């Protein structure tokens, strides 16, 4: 990598209401380390503190309600104890002059009745089953057909997103990222492969994007538009996700989101099929964070060529708390231990090595 390109990746950048120290973002990564009551812990705070040299940390997804939960030990943001747990995290990151957004989510159909309160079925826009299994505290369970949300229930879910943003603000976050990607509830509304509703939330792309629109409009007054981001994944094909015309669906969605003056659009660029992500960036018109298997060279090249304004790194940050120092020194990168992605407590979490003499904080 040329020094000039690396300089671009490590250069400060204005994103919404904040000036970030660099253009390298820590991507959201579910790690299943939450404590009792699905609360963030001191261990989680240390994990994020170690990586505070990222220009922006976007946390692992945090469920907005008990109904929104899909997996064991994912942290929530709907109880007082959960707010207090996340405050440990924001205090730790801010002590190192880092910046951190909370990713807020509802998993929709990607849950199971053993996870839900009172053995209820998971909810979704339509009663369409995703293929595959889901890991629960009772072991692997086959995904089941969800219950379609009633029209009169939807405003309550929208309000859960608003309340989650309010709680994130109480916990000290710099902003929130609305998780509208990866086959979860908002993505399920957006795509016609998972949304066959015939009311105001189904059918046309405008109707399918209505739920996201309402969530964005509910969250913006809490933080201000310039501290709210949205994540999309136009060609993600996991969990049986599909759309008959992703160019039209996500082109409309990006244009719609571009009207709000959001902090950024964060796009996962992995999946099946061709897609013009540069056009998506143009349609949004604001700060664009690219995600999807980037290394330092590709990230720097994307920024120099204006295909992205920032780039988020997932497993590279997971395995290298001192990732930016390694980029700067052109040092070897540690390999991620996949066996500890979702288990292991501090093992494979806070015990990844750093280079001798290099600190993972800003000092």
The dihedral over CA atoms of 199, 204, 208, 214, expressed in degrees to the nearest 10, equals -80
CB neighbours of 197 closer than 8 A, spacing ≥ 6? 125, 126, 148, 203, 207
Task: Count CB-CB contacts under 10 A for residue 37.
Answer: 12
Q: In the structure encoding, which two tokens stand for residue 226, read together?
A: 């310039």
User: For residue 125, what is the enclosing H or E element?
Assistant: none
CA distances, 79 to each of 28, 31, 326 (Å):
21, 20, 38
- Sheet strands (E) in the chain: 13-15, 18-20, 24-26, 56-63, 100-105, 123-124, 133-136, 139-142, 147-148, 175-179, 228-232, 264-268, 288-291, 310-313
Residue 35: DSSP 8-state: B
The set of catalytic residues is 184
Q: How many Cα atoms are found within 13 Å in the side-chain-facing hemisphere of 360?
A: 22
Q: In the structure encoding, which two tokens stand for residue 85, read together?
A: 């747990």
Q: In the structure encoding, which two tokens stand for residue 293, read together?
A: 């298997």
Decide: residue 53, CB within 10 A, 0-12 exposed, 13-18 middle, 19+ buried.
Answer: buried
CA distances, 230 to each of 83, 283, 295 (Å):
21, 14, 23
């Amino acid at each position: 990598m040329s020094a000039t390109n690396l300089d671009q990746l490590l250069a400060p950048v204005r994103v919404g209401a904040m000036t970030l120290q660099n253009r390298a973002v820590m991507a959201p990564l579910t790690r299943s380390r939450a404590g009792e009551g699905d609360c963030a812990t001191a261990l989680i705070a240390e994990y994020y503190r170690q990586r505070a040299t990222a220009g922006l940390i976007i946390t692992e997804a945090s469920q907005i309600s008990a109904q929104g939960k899909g997996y064991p030990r994912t942290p929530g943001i709907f109880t007082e104890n959960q707010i207090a747990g996340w405050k440990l995290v924001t205090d730790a990151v801010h002590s190192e002059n880092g910046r951190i957004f909370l990713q807020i989510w509802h998993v929709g159909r990607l849950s199971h009745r053993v996870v839900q309160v009172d053995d209820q079925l998971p909810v979704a826009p339509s009663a369409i089953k995703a293929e595959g299994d889901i890991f629960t505290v009772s072991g692997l369970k086959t995904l089941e057909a969800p219950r379609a949300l009633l029209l009169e229930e939807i405003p309550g879910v929208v309000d859960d997103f608003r309340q989650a943003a309010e709680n994130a603000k109480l916990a000290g976050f710099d902003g929130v990222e609305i998780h509208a990607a990866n086959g979860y509830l908002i993505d399920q509304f957006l795509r016609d492969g998972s949304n066959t509703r015939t009311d105001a939330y189904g059918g046309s792309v405008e109707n399918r994007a209505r739920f996201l629109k309402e969530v964005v409009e509910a969250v913006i007054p809490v933080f201000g538009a310039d501290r709210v981001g949205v994540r999309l994944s136009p060609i993600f094909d996991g969990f049986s996700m599909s759309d008959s015309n992703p160019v039209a669906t996500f082109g409309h969605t990006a244009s719609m989101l571009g009207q709000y003056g959001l902090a950024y659009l964060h796009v996962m660029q992995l999946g099946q099929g061709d897609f013009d992500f540069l056009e998506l960036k143009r349609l949004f018109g604001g700060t664009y964070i690219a995600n999807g298997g980037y290394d330092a060279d590709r990230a720097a090249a994307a920024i120099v060529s204006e295909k992205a304004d920032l780039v988020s790194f997932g497993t590279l940050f997971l395995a290298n708390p001192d990732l930016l120092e390694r980029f700067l020194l052109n040092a070897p990168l540690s390999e991620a231990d996949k066996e500890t992605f979702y288990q292991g407590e501090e093992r494979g979490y806070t015990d990844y090595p750093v280079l001798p003499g290099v600190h993972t904080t800003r000092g």
